């Protein structure tokens, strides 16, 4: 690869936690392919082509095959951690790195040929990973090393990883006969291929709707201007910068319903068929591996341990929230009745944002459109950077000439102030465009890890859809989107500050029902006056956000927290039910299940014609683990209670960084929480945060 940043010159190896550098062979690369990168170089995204994407996937697979061959050729008596476990782990990490690059490209590149090539390359990598994970000779090599005296004396991260990899192998079917393992291999490949296409369909479906002047009544002027056509009509899409304000302010209920259904039918009906097949294959996989349902299989190796714990958590929380939920719902109904002039009994899904906005305005005197004026995106980013740099003792430096996949993308290096060492590199892709991932998420690229050459830097990107500035107005963010940005940047920092020896345990490589906690904790900062005073200033006058407005915002924080949490319970319950013995039949489709669970869980009735399941991307990525959003929030709020006295405390921030973030997935998540808290965790802070 020819693109090299001077800020990524190799530096002296840093010893961490007493670990020594791995002695596994360090791969030396000479390829000019922009994806095949040397030690601590970055991907030359600007120079990508469909051809070199295919070439790169072939290269990474061949390197992994060479690693497998080295491991399998060893005599069992000669096995060491370095020549068996570390060699295999490095090959896995490099394959993950390639797959991560392809995920970024397929989610964000404006070039269709590149997106298509990345999708195909992702499948190639996935197929090989499935094969590698079911390679009996590699399993036997790992088991042989595990029986050695050296393995029995392992401690810390290496011991944890050895146990983890053996568990993964056995969960992948090594109790099965060879023919059943072949069946499992085919199932895994099919699930991955279908999941890739499921996500791609969501990204590439960009529906629009033409509305009249009367249907735009109440919609903010900036949205009207951005969507107005030459004939005076308005062309609405479902990207967040358009959809969120439209649903929050449009007075015409029928127009809101039409736009809601537009959103709920993204990737329909094609993803309905894909999801049905994914569910069938998951059920088959679970049965093959000796589990009653896929939910049993998925929870067995994570924090919850079993599906009963999940159902108990969801149901108990629903019961605790019931009084608050009913009170909040009544407030929305009263507002709707007052507006329509008749007694209303139902809040529809397309009413929720509108009447919630009205509640904030009328009861709490919080004008969301006014609030946006104090959250200009670049000011928010400056404040975000100030917070993270202060509490984690870091410095972010912008690269003024980055190699990126789109001109809007910015790039930054991360330096640890204590050591003055570079530890990572990240990208910000902030604005919506056609054929781009439609939500906000962190995409890890390279894992921080220890190699024979030195400390390998982390890299990651945020792919978001915040309002793009225009010639007349900068990007102004609803406060909820400020919260989203702080959340996603929490994931990114989790990747940046990892200090694990092994890439497979680095950063966000933690159990699924804990992975959100290190980002959820950061949402608390956007509700703190001391923090908001750093960056919440009027985009025209520079005036800091008035204290009285902040008071009103903070007072309104839990206005509908019960209903919002109930919505998360619905998402988690739906996802879990799909994978807990649900069978599709002529009488029972996935859409029918959405209707049943939505009507029995939430107070917002299902709208005929909606196909939410087709554009809920978490159904493939999480697969019966979406409940983890609420599960991990319990731990996030408990950990934030340590910060509560001073959210900008560098001392507390450093302790959180070292005891939780830096550890990645190198220990059980519950141990990380206990070590930070200095006690057993509980749900008191979580319930208090909901206003209970």
Annotated catalytic residues are: 488
Strands 421-429 and 458-463, bridge-based pairing: parallel
Q: What is residue 569's three-state secondary structure? A: helix
C-alpha 81/C-alpha 156 separation (Å) is 13
C-alpha 320/C-alpha 299 separation (Å) is 24
CA angle 456, 461, 465 (to 5 degrees): 175
- CA nearest to 665, candidates 96, 172, 174, 107: 96
C-alpha 674/C-alpha 497 separation (Å) is 20
CB-CB contact of 37 with 1 (8 Å): yes
C-alpha 175/C-alpha 388 separation (Å) is 46
Query: What are the backbone dihedrals phi and psi of residue 273, each rounded to the nearest 5 degrees, phi first?
Result: -65, -45
CB-CB contact of 184 with 111 (8 Å): no
C-alpha 81/C-alpha 586 separation (Å) is 53
- CB atoms under 10 Å from CB of 595, counted, come to 17
Instruction: Look up residue 398 and give its DSSP letter.
Output: E
Helix (H) or strand (E) holding 347, with range, is none
Compute CA 589 distance to the chain's CA centroid, rounded to the nearest angstrom.
28
- Sorted by sequence, the CB contacts under 8 Å of residue 337 that are 6+ apart come out as 343, 344
CB-CB contact of 366 with 551 (8 Å): no
Q: 397 pairs with which residues across the strands?
A: 413
Q: Residue 192 burial by CB count (10 A; 0-12/13-18/19+): exposed, middle or buried?
A: buried
C-alpha 119/C-alpha 506 separation (Å) is 25
Strands 458-463 and 454-456, bridge-based pairing: unpaired
Distances (CA, A) of 656 to 392, 493, 648, 663: 9, 12, 12, 10
C-alpha 182/C-alpha 635 separation (Å) is 40
Q: What is residue 621's three-state secondary structure? A: helix
- CB atoms under 10 Å from CB of 186, counted, come to 12
């Amino acid at each position: 690869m020819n693109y090299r940043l001077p800020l990524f010159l190799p530096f002296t190896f840093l010893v961490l936690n007493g670990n020594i550098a791995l002695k596994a062979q360090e791969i030396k690369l000479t390829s000019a392919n922009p994806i095949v990168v040397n030690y601590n170089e970055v991907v030359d995204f600007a120079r990508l082509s469909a051809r070199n994407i295919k070439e790169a996937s072939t290269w990474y697979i061949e390197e992994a095959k060479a690693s497998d061959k080295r491991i399998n050729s060893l005599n069992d008596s000669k096995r060491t951690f370095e020549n068996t476990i570390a060699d295999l782990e490095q090959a896995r990490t490099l394959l993950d790195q390639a797959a991560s690059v392809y995920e970024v490209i397929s989610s964000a590149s404006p070039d269709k040929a590149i997106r298509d090539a990345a999708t195909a390359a992702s499948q190639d990598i996935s197929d090989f990973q499935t094969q590698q994970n079911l390679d009996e000779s590699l399993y036997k090599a790992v088991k042989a090393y595990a029986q050695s005296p050296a393995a029995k004396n392992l401690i810390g991260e290496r011991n944890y990883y050895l146990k983890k990899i053996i568990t993964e192998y056995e969960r992948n079917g090594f109790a099965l006969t060879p023919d059943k393992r072949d069946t499992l291999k085919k199932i895994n490949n099919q699930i991955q291929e279908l999941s890739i296409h499921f996500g791609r369909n969501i990204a590439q479906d960009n529906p629009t709707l033409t509305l009249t002047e009367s249907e735009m009544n109440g919609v903010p002027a900036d949205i009207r201007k951005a969507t107005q056509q030459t004939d005076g009509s308005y062309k609405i899409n479902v990207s967040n910068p358009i959809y969120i304000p439209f649903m929050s302010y449009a007075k015409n209920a029928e127009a809101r319903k039409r736009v809601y259904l537009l959103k709920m039918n993204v990737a329909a009906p094609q993803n309905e068929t894909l999801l049905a097949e994914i569910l069938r294959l998951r059920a088959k996989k679970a049965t093959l591996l000796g589990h009653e349902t896929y939910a049993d299989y998925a929870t067995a190796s994570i924090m919850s341990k079993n599906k009963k714990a999940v159902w108990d958590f969801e149901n108990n929380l629903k019961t605790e929230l019931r009084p608050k939920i009913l009170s909040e719902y009544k407030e929305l109904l009263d507002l709707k009745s007052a507006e329509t002039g008749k007694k209303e009994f139902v809040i529809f899904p397309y009413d929720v944002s509108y009447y919630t906005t009205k509640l904030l305005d009328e009861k709490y005197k919080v004008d969301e459109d006014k609030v946006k004026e104090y959250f200009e995106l670049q000011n928010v980013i400056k404040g975000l950077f100030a917070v993270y740099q202060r509490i984690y003792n870091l410095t972010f430096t912008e690269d003024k000439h980055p190699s990126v996949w789109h001109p809007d993308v910015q790039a930054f290096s991360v330096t640890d102030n204590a050591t003055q060492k570079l530890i990572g590199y990240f990208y910000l892709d902030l604005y919506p465009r056609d054929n781009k991932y439609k939500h906000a998420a962190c995409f890890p690229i390279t894992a921080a890890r220890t190699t024979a050459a030195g400390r390998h830097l982390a890299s990651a990107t945020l792919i978001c859809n915040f309002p793009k500035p225009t010639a007349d107005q900068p990007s102004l963010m609803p406060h909820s989107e400020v919260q989203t940005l702080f959340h996603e940047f929490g994931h990114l920092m989790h990747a940046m500050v990892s200090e694990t020896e092994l890439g497979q345990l680095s950063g966000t490589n933690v159990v699924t029902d804990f992975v959100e906690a290190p980002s959820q904790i950061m949402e608390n900062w956007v509700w703190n006056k001391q923090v908001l005073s750093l960056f919440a200033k009027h985009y025209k006058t520079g005036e800091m956000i008035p204290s009285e407005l902040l008071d009103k915002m903070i007072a309104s924080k839990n206005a509908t927290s019960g209903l919002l949490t109930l919505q998360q319970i619905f998402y988690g319950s739906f996802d879990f039910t799909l994978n807990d013995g649900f069978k599709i039949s002529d009488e029972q489709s996935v859409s029918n299940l959405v209707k049943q669970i939505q009507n029995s869980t939430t107070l917002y009735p299902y709208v005929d014609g909606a196909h939410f399941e087709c554009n809920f991307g978490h159904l493939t990525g999480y697969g019966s683990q979406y409940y983890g959003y609420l599960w991990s929030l319990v731990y996030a709020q408990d950990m934030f209670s340590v910060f509560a006295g001073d959210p900008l405390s560098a001392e507390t921030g450093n302790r959180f960084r070292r005891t939780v973030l830096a550890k990645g997935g190198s220990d059980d998540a519950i141990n990380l929480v206990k070590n930070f808290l200095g006690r057993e965790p509980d749900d008191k802070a979580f319930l208090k945060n909901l206003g209970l």
